[in-house]
Amino acid sequence: MTFTVSPETLSKINSTHRQSVPALDVPVRLLLGPGPSNADPAVVAAMNRQPIGHLDPAYTALMDEVQNLLRYVWQTQNKLTLPMSGTGSAAMEATIANVVEPGDVVLVGVKGYFGHRLVDMAGRYGADVRSIHHAWGEVFTLPELRAALEEHRPQVLALVHAETSTGARQPLEGVGDLCREFDCLLIADTVTSLGGEPIFLDDWKVDLAYSCSQKGLSCPPGSSPFTIGERGLAKMDKRQTKVANWYLDVSMLRNYWGSGRVYHHTAPVNMTYAIREALRLVSEEGLETSWQRHRTNAEKLWAGLQDLGLSCHVPHENRLTTLTTVKVPDGIDAKAVTKALLTEHNIEIGNGLGELGGKVWRIGLMGANSKPENVDRVLEALGQVLAKMKG
């Protein structure tokens, strides 16, 4: 049987749908905002290799390497540690989806935009969501967390270690011990801290954690670290209901990422190449060296901002070294500054998010972008833009 198209139909197709599209041309920016950061050239080169099958023995060997490297950067021995196929929000949702059942009390510490996102996600899975709050840029103390656990008796406590909207770092030392005392799981958001800030998941007794690829790892977005410990797995295995999200169901994914290699979904092969290379670079540099590099460059940025007459939103002791929130001076249009930096200096920094919209800028020094020359460049450009606006 031959398929034919009338001349009239063919003419209509060509005239209506065919378009002349130029070849892809993407500007090269210096990305010093809240993410993504610029991908390391070695990571881009790795990602540009030809894909192989997601069940190919060569690929499953790469999977093992990625898992081992993730355990290193997170400082955990959790067997089930893997990159979720998706951006950081997918890994975030995976932590909630797998250990939260309808009716479970989930306590969320809200001190920024992403605490609110955790509240939203937990509610969608039928949790009895409770929340405690601090002003955006502040952090919770152990006595405050103890009082909240005593009051709410949750099955899960979720805290944002690195709040991307505020630039604040939540101390986690001692929180895991509290959670064991009150028999609840601890979830930690390390999206903006992994690779750049000290993290010790096992020492801190964190039960589940998630991150992303495009910030401290200097990898394109799309492959997002996830880990779950034995206490989390025990709760998941005792579920009375199926995990409500099929794609993120770890009870099935562990059969693919474990020794069985049972097909679940087609893995993003090239993103696995990319995150494997990104993690290799962190390992090659060494965690302590990476953490110190981020600290040194952040301190240089903070001193330079002070010289410009600018102040930081978060107190020094709680600031992230990967992301700094800078207070917008009175009379300055925050968005006009970020636009000028992009159009005149080819530098991207972030505007404020949520409650901090129009009040702060967010400057990221993440992964490969955490360099003294980048600090100098953004400070010089910011100084020029502000001087022009002030007349």
Tell me: pLDDT of 16 over 70.
Answer: no
Domain finish residue from 284, 302, 325: 284
pLDDT score at 6? 76
pLDDT of residue 139: 98
In the predicted structure, residue 284 carries a pLDDT above the cut 80: yes
Tens of pLDDT, residue by residue over 94-135, are: 999 999 999 999 999 999 999 999 999 999 999 999 999 999
Q: Which of 302-311, 344-353, 382-391 has the lowest mean pLDDT?
A: 382-391
Predicted local distance difference test score (pLDDT) of residue 330: 95
Grade residue 259 by pLDDT with cuts at 50, 70 and 90: confident
Tell me: do 270 and 343 sit in the same domain.
Answer: no
- pLDDT value at residue 390: 82
- Mean pLDDT for 344-355 is 97
Residue 260 has what pLDDT?
87
The string of pLDDT tens digits covering residues 164-198 is: 999 999 999 999 999 999 999 999 999 999 999 99
What residue numbers bound the domain in which 301 lies?
30-37+286-390
CB atoms near residue 340 (< 10 Å): 19
Q: What is the mean pLDDT of residues 137-150?
A: 98
Q: Where are the beta strands (DSSP E) in the chain?
A: 30-31, 80-85, 105-110, 128-133, 156-160, 162-163, 168-169, 185-189, 208-210, 223-228, 323-327, 347-348, 350-351, 360-364
Q: What is the pLDDT of residue 15?
A: 62
Q: What is the pLDDT of residue 321?
A: 98
Domain endpoint, select from 222, 254, 284: 284
In this predicted structure, what is the pLDDT of residue 13? 61
Distance CA 171, CA 182 (A): 19
Q: Per the structure, how many domains does the chain have?
A: 2
Which domain-ending residue is among 284, 299, 315?
284
Nearest Cα to 178, choosing from 228, 72, 113, 107? 107
DSSP 156: E
* pTM for this model (two decimals): 0.94
pLDDT class of 365 with cuts at 50, 70, 90: very high
The pLDDT of residue 366 is: 98
- Do residues 121 and 196 share a domain? yes
| Whether 306 and 221 share a structural domain | no
pLDDT average, residue stretch 245-252: 96
Query: Band of the pLDDT at 154, cuts 50, 70, 90?
Result: very high
The CATH number of whichever domain residue 91 belongs to comes to: 3.40.640.10
For residue 97, which of 193, 239, 295, 201 has the smallest C-alpha distance?
239
204 within a domain of the structure (yes/no): yes
